[in-house]
Structure 1
């Protein structure tokens, strides 16, 4: 596993409607703009998780769930 992935905050998992981007520590779906990131295509979920993890590694907390 690449070193940067050891600190990922977001992961992917299958759901009944597609894929979910979730917060690894809580297992809750990630919320972006008030919308749970569930039922996504695999490509969209991978892209969103990548964006969220990049922002998280940079210390941007604007996308964190309150």
Structure 2
């Protein structure tokens, strides 16, 4: 997950929720908190729209010569 990535946070919470559902069950307080947090991050991701694509040196760490 990239620092500051809303979509990454939503994805991480989805993975966490799957694990908590399996281990703790659907009614456990931690599972319910994770479900709430996932909904919050999904809503935030929808409001922001798609993440911008980074071009140039930041995208792959290399330097690019411009013609």
Which interval holds the TM-score relative to the shorter structure? 0.3 to 0.5
Larger helix percent: 2
Q: In terms of Rg, which structure is larger?
A: 2
Larger strand percent: 1
